[in-house]
Chain A
């Protein structure tokens, strides 16, 4: 499906050379920031800064005109005032540029007749020259594998998650959160006003891209709703698509109007469209990244019977009770453990308190060896589909010290592989924040999903499960 898009978009995501129009040797310009971003990311091909100042930037010669660039140019990043964009396209046509990304804003998103007119002229000229446009009013492409950075110049690890975003700000945030939480992207794109290539085009590409296994989308509006709907229907047949609609409320919708010049549509109809197309709707950036993380780690997962393990070092009664609520309220089940598991746990820990229920309180396990044995017993129970471990660094650190803490988390990482079921760790922020962050990084790097609250974990797991069941019913 959409295989033709792979070849068509190759020069966009894997350009051999990039020109940045709007660089300057004398003043700080966005164009210069782009040049620095490409350099610091380690873009593998020639980078050609273009700007009227001439001179040099980061030791690269600045060409006064694009047409004066000596080599071939595949891809152009544009950060010049909108008055000059039409003239620039002439140069692009001369250089046989394949695609142009306009950071430049001031088009239809302004809502002015001039803005609309300029946008139309831009599109018409690009079509004549056989040039594809990304934007305007966007930050364009991100491809970790090819070292195509966002404006900030950062490149995360390459992974299975693709994203599209109408907003540049959200795109940057997705990349930053991705780096922090080990959500590893194959490709991403912010397409702004999407006058030529829009959400549907990029969804088709990511749908066909063999390196992308799950797609996240931030959308505010669309110029062709029917095409978007049909594209989503096709894409969700082969990959999960997690979608966030910006501008759901009236205030939000007004912001969307001025932001990307899209028509606002009622939230109910967008939600219906997502559901009908098989997309998974989320309602915040936080939920979007949580869901992408769980899909990246688990891909497909059916089963909502969770074991909650708490009280790793002391009585975690109340926290376990509220963790149970968080799960059940979000659609997960917390079933009683099997009689065999209960019996074994009883032998190991002594039948006291509420330890044999689910949520499981393992605070009676004295010593690390017993603790590990108890957790292993719960994880191997065939009634349980998924194990949620409530880990409290503030309590564990003074009892087990840093070394013990590391050992405990290494055990969690091993446990995931051992029983062929997801082990998810909840690490709520507290006072031992530096240590908590280190543990979080350690777990995430080993592909163990980490969430900072049970609510967020449960929500993401439930969505994964919903999609897997929906897929099955296809």
Chain B
């Protein structure tokens, strides 16, 4: 667990990102089961529920994420399961409720992040999501400010780049959309020096756009 006041929740993080023009799947905070169901209905099924707590770092590992919920009954059941499961893993966590968002269609999973280097300041990272970033560490870095050219190069630098060009029938990802997103993130962290770390993980890259599915901002 990280000190809670420094970690913005997904809902808060996405609000800031959206304002900066970074495409995100909007998430709404629901504080009760009833509210969760009503927001889900308004958004339209299927939806995704995620635990909303500044104290929970690994949301899916603690049973705090439920995907593809198709109706109100499933949403209600998922809500109960998320709350009880997270309470078991993080008994002291301050739980705000759950975030509700539309279930995004599958795309190529990528990650964009920012951390601060003691010598060079804010540094952006790009990689393919999941196993490629975690196990193979197939990522590239650039120092902020990241120009369009830098963004183009850092995307092409990773070994998994061909995956973005379409692989085994999977649709190709829009490289220009990813480039634009990276440059926007660079501007965002430049304008907000109080941000210590940032994770857009995953971002779904589609043939025509790229959207952050989950986001976390950690402040200094």
**Interface set of A (CB-CB < 8 Å, partner B):** 221-222, 225-226, 229, 263, 265-266, 268-269, 271-273, 275-276
Interface residue from B119, B150, B154 paired with A265 (Cβ < 8 Å)? B119
Separation in Å of the B146 CB from the closest CB of chain A? Answer: 8
Query: Beta-carbon contacts of B198-216 to A below 8 Å, as 1s and 0s?
Result: 0000000000000000000
Chain B: which residue is nearest A265 at the CB level?
A: B119
A268-B121 contact in complex given A275-B153, A276-B150, C-beta closer than 8 Å: no
Q: A222 to B143, alpha carbons, bound, how many Å?
A: 15
Cα distance, A263 to B120, chains bound together (Å)? 11
Q: Other than the known A225-B119, A263-B118, A265-B120, what 7 A-B pairs have Cβ atoms closer than 8 Å?
A: A225-B120, A225-B121, A229-B143, A265-B118, A269-B119, A272-B143, A273-B120
A400 to chain B, nearest CB (A): 48
B143, A276: Cβ atoms closer than 8 Å? yes
Q: Chain A contacts of B142 at CB under 8 A?
A: 272, 276
Is the CB–CB distance between B150 and A263 below 8 Å? no
In whole angstroms, what is the CA distance A271 to B140 when docked? 10
Is B123 on the interface with A (CB-CB < 8 A)? Answer: yes
Contact B120 A269 (CB under 8 A): yes
In the complex, what's the smallest C-beta–C-beta distance from A474 to chain B, in angstroms? Answer: 9
- Contact call B153/A269, Cβ cutoff below 8 A: no
Report the 10 A-B pairs with minimum CB-CB distance, sorted nearest first.
Answer: A225-B119, A272-B141, A225-B120, A265-B119, A269-B117, A276-B142, A269-B141, A272-B142, A263-B118, A276-B150
Cα(A186)–Cα(B139), bound, Å: 39
Which single member of A221, A272, A275, A276 contacts B119 (CB below 8 Å)?
A: A221
Q: How far is the CA of A275 from the CA of B149 in the complex (A)?
A: 12
B121 touching A226, Cβ below 8 Å: yes
Residue numbers in B under 8 Å from A268 (CB-CB): 139, 141
Assembly CA distance A271 to B121 (angstroms): 15
Chain B residue at smallest Cβ distance from A262:
B119
Which residues of B lie under 8 Å from residue A225 when comparing CB positions? 117, 119-121
Q: How far is the CA of A272 from the CA of B117 in the complex (A)?
A: 12
Which residues of the other chain, B, contact A271 by a CB distance below 8 angstroms? 141
In the bound complex, CA of A111 to CA of B121 (Å): 23
Q: Name the residue on B nearest A223 (C-beta).
A: B119
- Chain A residues with Cβ under 8 A from B123's Cβ? 269, 272
Give chain B residues whose Cβ lies under 8 Å from the Cβ of A221. Answer: 119
Classify chain B's interface size: 10 to 19
Q: Which residues on A sit within 8 Å (CB–CB) of B120? A: 225-226, 229, 265, 269, 273
6 A-B Cβ contacts within 8 A? A225-B120, A229-B143, A272-B123, A272-B142, A276-B142, A276-B143
B121 in contact with A272 (CB, 8 Å): no
A229–B121 CA distance with the chains assembled, in angstroms:
11
What's the Cα separation between A263 and B121 when bound, in Å? Answer: 13
| In the complex with contacts A275-B153, A276-B150, A263-B119 CB distance below 8 A | yes
Min distance, Cβ B82 to any Cβ of chain A, angstroms: 36
In the bound complex, how far is the Cα of B120 from the Cα of A266, in angstroms? 11
Which of B120, B123, B143, B154 has the most C-beta atoms of chain A within 10 angstroms of its own C-beta? B120
Distance in Å: Cβ of B117 to nearest Cβ of chain A: 5
B118: chain A residues at CB < 8 Å are 263, 265
Q: Which residue of A lies closest to B140 (CB)?
A: A272
Residues of A within 8 A of B143 (CB): 229, 269, 272-273, 276
A353 to B154, CA, bound (A): 46
In the bound complex, how far is the Cα of B120 from the Cα of A268, in angstroms? 12
Chain A contacts of B119 at CB under 8 A? 221-222, 225, 263, 265, 269
Q: Which residues of A lie under 8 Å from residue B141 when comparing CB positions?
A: 268-269, 271-272
B153 — nearest CB in chain A belongs to which residue?
A275
Smallest Cβ-Cβ distance to A474: which chain B residue: B149
Question: Known: A229-B143, A272-B123, A273-B143. Contact between A266 and B117, CB under 8 A?
Answer: yes
Which of B117, B119, B141, B154 gathers the greatest number of chain A CB atoms within 10 Å? B119
Q: Hey, which chain A residues are within 8 Å of B140, CB to CB?
A: 272
Q: What does the 1/0 interface line of B149-160 toward A look like (CB < 8 Å)?
A: 010011001000
Q: List B45-104 residues whose CB lies under 8 Å from chain A.
A: none
Residue from A226, A265, A266, A276 whose CB has the most chain B CB atoms within 10 Å: A276
Bound CA–CA A271/B119 (angstroms): 13
Which among B118, B121, B154 has the highest number of chain A CB atoms within 10 Å? B118
With both chains docked as a complex, state the minimum distance between the C-beta of B156 and any C-beta of chain A, in angstroms. Answer: 11
Compute how far the CA of A273 lies from the CA of B146 in the bound complex, rounded to whole angstroms: 11
**A2 CA / B139 CA spacing, docked (Å):** 35
**Chain A proximity of B102: nearest CB distance (Å):** 35
Residues of B102-142 whose CB lies within 8 A of A: 117-121, 123, 139-142
Complex-state Cα separation, A225 to B154, whole angstroms: 20
- The docked-state distance in angstroms from the alpha carbon of A269 to that of B141 is 6
Provide the residues of chain B in CB contact with A275, threshold 8 Å: 153, 157
Question: Which residues of chain B are near A273, meaning CB under 8 Å?
Answer: 120, 143
B27 CB to closest chain A CB, in angstroms? 31
Q: How far is the CB of A190 from chain B (nearest CB, A)?
A: 20
CB distance from A253 to the nearest CB of B (A): 12
Assembly CA distance A271 to B153 (angstroms): 13
Q: CB-CB < 8 A to B117: which residues of A?
A: 225, 265-266, 269
Name the distance in Å between A353's Cβ and chain B's nearest Cβ: 39
